[in-house]
Structure 1
Amino acid sequence: MTELETVLIRGVTGILFMLFLARLMGKKHIRDMTFYEYIVGISIGSISAELTFGTEVRMSNFLLGMLIWAIIPIIISKIELKSFRFRIVTEGHPTILIKNGKILEENLKKENLTVDEMMISLRQKDFFKLSDIETAVMEKNGQISVMKKSELQPLTPKDIGKIVEREREPRIVIIDGNVMERSLSEYGYTKEWLLGEIMKQGAKSFSDVFFAQIDSMGNVYIDLYNDTIKMPQIKQKLLVAANIKQLQANLVNFSLQTENATAKEMYKGYAKQMDKLLDDMSGYLKE
């Protein structure tokens, strides 16, 4: 048997043995990473270090060993994509730690997890009281996922029958003073509109903006190169006046759309109040 064949056999044997040891150690020891990331990271690092100092062994042997540790996990991951049963063998199952609000002590022992360690993970997810938890599951990567009891779940618009506009992902529209015109146009806005929005927040031009992001509602977040720049006072006042004017227009539209006579008069009354407020403010907006 040649020296390279010996290295190949030893490499494959080493991977299988390290996989066995990782499974034996349990999920909590490799939290936030997969089995293969844990195994490959340690092994390749060790081989790389030995490559530096192990001058008595040929460099080609070290390189072949590192190649084995890199290629075999890739092959295993490809097999995992195609075979559910193989994934169960290599990764195992998620483990239920709390069910129906009750701690499953046997499952804690199975994962070599103490109550103290479980509580640390729960507190990191802002769960300080076990009485708030319906189910807690240790995932394959060692993370603990938690589901609150139904009565403690946050209220959503759907729960109260409120219809909300569907929100799309926010888009970055300026990076280092450069406008991302494609992202801007996909949301239906122009550079001129964007320039007006950033000027409201103190920028004089696109070059003043380090980063800008727009959401599907048209709200623009910007970060300026000069963080000491503040929105000009006059523009703040004009922005408030524009918002009041928009509110007045909405009230007028509501009064025209409703068939309820009482509601119609209420909307008209509030619209007149907004109009009077604008008149009262007009003398101060340019100060």
Structure 2
Amino acid sequence: MPEWVNVVIRSTSLIVVIFIIAKLFGKRHLSQLSVFEYLIGLVISVIAATVSIGLITPFWHGIIGLGIWFIIPFLLVLLAIKSKPVRDLVRGKGTVFIKDGKVMEDNLKKEKYSSDDLLQQLRNKNVFQVADVEFAVLEADGDISVLPKKEKQPLTPKDLGITVAPIKEPQTVVMDGEILYEPLATGGFSVKWLETEFEKLGVSVENVYLAQVDSFGQLTVDLFDDKLQVPAPQEKPLLLATTKKMQADMEIFALSTQNKQAKQMYTKNSQKLQKAIDRLTPFLSD
């Protein structure tokens, strides 16, 4: 058998093996790996490369070495899930850099961090003054988590006493011109409903690159042709406008009738609708 055929077979086999190893190690991003895990990945890559071009012979010796470098770290990862001491040993622990607004210089030296390094990491978190930080910690993956002081934190609707609508994850119902039936059913919608919505917009499924439905039943569409404009969803504004019109009609009926009982009824219902509008406005306003 020609040598190049052996290289193709070995390389193809190792691609499958490395793919399985990567799946078993989970979905963590490269930046989230500890130094130990990163080095393990480098060693496995080197072994795989040398085996694929035949520098390690026979082939099974390379596979055995690859298996050892995978099994032992994999077992350590499993132990780290259940044991904090092992987890601290394998993945490391966070190091506090700023506490109660005070920079911990000894911890900076311990992690080989300079003042410039700290300031750069804070700027990456949109913090430009150390005095604005209440707490900052260097995580095991090398990222810095920052808690600004209370007066420097951005305002939230809760701080302003504003009620906002609860939001669930949107369901992607069309991707690359193909209907995704499972997310469509998860959202409680049917294919017929989707086709009707597309008819309203004047588009066909084949022209849709991406379509999503939010928790309010609003459909947003992105087309393959970027020059075409699709109207924004109008379900919520339309419902709010219709409710306001009903309330205004009740007021008009109350003013136009001479019947006292009818006037009281229209006025009472108008007030009820106004209360409903006040409650619904935060949910129906984008």
Task: State the TM-score, normalized to the length of structure 1.
Answer: 0.67
- Which position in structure 2 is the counterpart of 1:252? 246
The answer to whether the Cα contact below 8 Å between 1:137 and 1:145 also exists between their aligned partners in 2 is yes
Q: Cα offset for 1:96?
A: 0.7
Which residue identity lines up with residue 137 of structure 2 in the other structure?
Answer: V
Partners of 1:94 and 1:171 lie apart in 2 by 36
**Per the alignment, in what secondary structure is the counterpart of residue 183 of structure 1?**
helix
Partner Cα separation in structure 1 for residue 216 and residue 234 of structure 2: 18
Matched, 1:227 2:226: yes
Q: What is the CA distance between 1:243 and its match in structure 2?
A: 4.8
One-letter amino acid of the structure 1 residue matched with residue 206 of structure 2: S
Q: Match for residue 90 of structure 2?
A: 90
Aligned to 2:16: none
Q: Is the 8 A contact 2:34 2:92 kept in 1?
A: no
In the alignment, structure 1 segments of 5+ residues that lack a partner are 1-29, 268-287
**One-letter code aligned to 1:207:** E
Amino acid at match of 1:252: M
The gaps in structure 2 that reach 5 residues or longer are 1-29, 252-264, 275-286
Deviation readout 1:65-120 (Å, 9 max, x if unpaired): 22111111101111111212221222232111011222111000111111212222
Contact preservation (8 Å) 2:98, 2:137: yes
Question: d(CA) in 2 for partners of 1:59 and 1:191?
Answer: 53
TM-score (norm 2): 0.68
Contact 1:198 1:222 in 2 (8 A): no
SS of equivalent to 1:146? strand
Secondary structure in 1 aligned to 2:127? coil
Superposed displacement of residue 214, structure 1: 1.4
Percent sequence identity over aligned pairs:
33
Q: Distance in 1 between matches of 2:241 and 2:107?
A: 58
Matched, 1:216 2:210: no
C-alpha RMSD over aligned residues: 3.6
1:151-197 deviation line (CA, Å, top 9, x unaligned): 12222222233333321111111122222233223323333433343
Structure 1 contact 202–230 (Cα < 8 Å) conserved: no
Task: Measure, in 2, the Cα distance between the counterparts of 1:139 and 1:178.
Answer: 41
Which of 246-255 and 85-94 deviates more? 246-255
Identify if the C-alpha distance between structure 1 residues 144 and 259 changes in structure 2 by more than 3 Å, giving closer, same or farther: farther
Is the 8 Å Cα contact of residues 34 and 90 (structure 2) preserved in structure 1? Answer: no
Change (3 A) 1:114 1:259: farther
